[in-house]
Structure 1
Amino acid sequence: MEQRNNKTIICSVFFLDIVEYSKKSVAGQISLKERFNAFLSIAIRDVPVNDRIILDTGDGAAISFLGDIEDALQAALSMRSSLLGEGVRMEPTLLVRMGINLGPVRLVKDINGQPNIVGDGINVAQRVMGFADTGQVLVSRSYYDAVSRLSSEYSGMFHYQGSRTDKHVREHEVYAIGYPGDFTSTQRSVALQEQVEHSTGWRHVLAQSQIVWASSIHQVALWERRGISAFRRITTPQKVAVLSVAAIFAFSMMLGIYKLAHRPAVPAVKKVAVTASDKPTLPMSAPVAASAVVVDAQKAAEIEANKKVQGVKQSSRVRTLAETTGGPAVVGLSIVPWGEVYLDGVLQGVSPPLLELQVVSGQHKLEIRNSNFPVLKQTIKAKPGEKIKIKHSFK
């Protein structure tokens, strides 16, 4: 440091100012300055003591970095990160403007014999800081030209803000540090928080929605920044692979949308007029439906009987008196599911379809057989003109 005294050198100067510091009470100023000094100490802790000169300006500070020009950028990013992390949780809110310049300064000693700096480098840094919004970091054209050549990552961090004129009618081209969508200022979050606290009804809901929306935009910008930074760090083959996967995904999405838009239309269903003759006959009552079920059961029983009984032809539905014994008595049969009917040991047929037998008067032995169940045996006494009902269900 002794060798540099009274010499003009080129260095980067980081100028900071606490917004509306003089309007606060003494207690408020002490609180702001303590937090400001704590954040600033964190920001420059990695810079060697001999490579920096700190000037306390009362409502801020000016730091000259005599070593790497990147030190000023890293300090500004650290300071801004600390301010954003604090948010509005502390009172009074710490709002800071920041500016960086690269220019000539002369190292001198102040009235106390301590190192000090004077010159155009620190003056321009103060002017650039004056152009910044609350929470924003601006840099001069000279600093941007120098630091942006160090790496592509640095060059992508700056956004041109145009030319500004100071009170001495001097033009300054300035660049802002940050990405689109960044919260480069806590002023907006403070204003939204005040709206939430002092509003009611739908205005309160709207203010809360704005806070959520702003936070979402910030997260998206953060993910975008990390993605771009990671993409820049990977090798060329890896970049080709990533771009190939992205292209395949985009092509698949476009192809799916195209197929969806050009898929054939579903043919409309034609309505056909139904005439009375075409209409199906519907069951009119429960007995009719029951009779249909009985007919189906009879058909199934008939098929089964044909399999079980060999050599016996199906009899007609009514056996006449001449076919039996010539008697006048009638025996009605109702067998479920089916049965072979024997009268006095003689096979008469299978019921169903056999429903009636005509027998002569007198005593007869009636047997109904089903190969899957025990034989039904009954003795009937028929009288002339009598109707006898035999009903049985094999279970």
Structure 2
Amino acid sequence: MNVPGSLPTLASFVFIRITEFVRRPVPEQARLRAQLESALAVALIRIPPQIRIILDAPDGMAIAVLGNPAAALDIAQRCMSASAVGVSMAMAINHGAIRLAPDGSGHQGLIGDAVGTASAIAHFAGPARLFVSRSFREALAESSPARAISIRPAGIFTDANVRTHELFAPNPASALSRRRILAAVGAVVLIGILATVMFFHEDIRRELRAGQPATLAFGIYPDGDIFVDGVARGKSPPLATLQLEPGLHTIELKRRGEIPFRTSVELRAGSTTSVEYAFTQGDERSWLRRVRDWVLR
């Protein structure tokens, strides 16, 4: 989605938080985030790319939807089904002004009250709960009155900055008949959707990783000087990794008295590519040497 960098734009902001994320072991965090990305890939199939921006959050994901509050509600409700397969999520939707702005690392980010408020609201919601702000309910009522009828008051909450938020939530009783219809239709097209995800999931993952650097890891024995696109970048060991722009790079490894090694690698955003090389035949490291070299680093 193209949003003018200098002008704020009204959008609906969906914040999806994996509950108790920071308290979970790292392997479980990785598994839950992968499951959330898969659920989000399904939820976004019918949402045009030009009206959405997908961002990573420390404990989940965030999606900005331009000009279509009902689409934002659809995304949240589709992702909520992932709670039934082991991903405990709390969700929030807010509506307000956002603006594109780079973060501290120079990557694309969003700023605006809609962003911070959605994050705060998501922390009020418990597992498998969806809260929406009054501003979102009003935007939904203006564009899709029938959808807004099922959004009922959930209470008034106060955040850590002593700001009060009047929140609403979908009424399960009002939405029951609609869910039954959607379930009947979904049962018919589920196989088709899953087959579509097989083709489009990699595109979604690329969009999620867009703007992130690529990582190049080295395993050189006994050691060597590293050149990337003709520029000296250091000696490995001790150098273990480099962060580079995604794309094609020429890697050259040199060591005095040895024939240089030269190769080209295609680096992908958010991914790690390894280059391992032993300068002298028979110098490949055993697993004991690998452990020793890792400890010495």
TM-score range, shorter chain: 0.5 to 0.7
- Equivalent in the alignment of 2:116: 123
> Are the counterparts in 1 of residues 3 and 99 from structure 2 also a CA contact under 8 Å?
no
Q: Secondary structure at the match of 2:142?
A: coil
Alpha-carbon distance, 1:146 to partner: 1.3
Which aligned pairs between 1:356-371 and structure 2 lie closer than 5 A? none
Asked whether 1:32 is paired with 2:32, we answer yes
Consecutive unaligned residues of structure 1, counting only runs of 5 or more, are 87-92, 183-220, 228-395
1:187-218 C-alpha deviation (Å, 9 max, x unpaired): xxxxxxxxxxxxxxxxxxxxxxxxxxxxxxxx
Which aligned pairs between 1:92-171 and structure 2 lie closer than 5 A? 93-111=86-104, 113-171=106-164
Which aligned pairs between 1:379-390 and structure 2 lie closer than 5 A? none
* TM-score, normalised relative to structure 2: 0.56
Alpha carbons of 1:120 and 1:3: their partners in 2 closer, same or farther (altered >3 Å)? closer
Alpha-carbon distance, 1:148 to partner: 2.3
- Equivalent in the alignment of 1:78: 78
Consecutive unaligned residues of structure 2, counting only runs of 5 or more, are 182-297
Amino acid in the other structure paired with 1:161 = A
Which is bigger in relative contact order (C-alpha 8 A, separation at least 6)?
2
- Equivalent in the alignment of 2:42: 42
Alpha carbons of 1:226 and 1:130: their partners in 2 closer, same or farther (altered >3 Å)? same
Alpha-carbon distance, 1:178 to partner: 3.4
1:313-372 C-alpha deviation (Å, 9 max, x unpaired): xxxxxxxxxxxxxxxxxxxxxxxxxxxxxxxxxxxxxxxxxxxxxxxxxxxxxxxxxxxx
d(CA) in 2 for partners of 1:52, 1:25: 31
Which aligned pairs between 1:252-263 and structure 2 lie closer than 5 A? none
Q: Secondary structure at the match of 1:148?
A: helix
- Equivalent in the alignment of 2:17: 17
Alpha-carbon distance, 1:12 to partner: 0.6
Alpha carbons of 1:68 and 1:225: their partners in 2 closer, same or farther (altered >3 Å)? closer
Identity %: 31
- Equivalent in the alignment of 1:67: 67
Superposed structure 1 runs of 4+ greater than 6 Å apart: none
> Are the counterparts in 2 of residues 12 and 102 from structure 1 also a CA contact under 8 Å?
yes
Aligned length: 181
- Equivalent in the alignment of 1:344: none
Alpha carbons of 1:142 and 1:111: their partners in 2 closer, same or farther (altered >3 Å)? same
Amino acid in the other structure paired with 1:97 = A
> Are the counterparts in 1 of residues 3 and 9 from structure 2 also a CA contact under 8 Å?
no
Larger radius of gyration: 1
Q: Secondary structure at the match of 1:149?
A: helix
Which aligned pairs between 1:217-296 and structure 2 lie closer than 5 A? 222=176
- Equivalent in the alignment of 1:260: none
Alpha-carbon distance, 1:135 to partner: 0.6
RMSD: 2.3
> Are the counterparts in 2 of residues 51 and 67 from structure 1 also a CA contact under 8 Å?
yes
> Are the counterparts in 1 of residues 92 and 132 from structure 2 also a CA contact under 8 Å?
yes
Alpha-carbon distance, 1:35 to partner: 0.5
Q: Secondary structure at the match of 2:143?
A: coil
Alpha-carbon distance, 1:2 to partner: 5.6
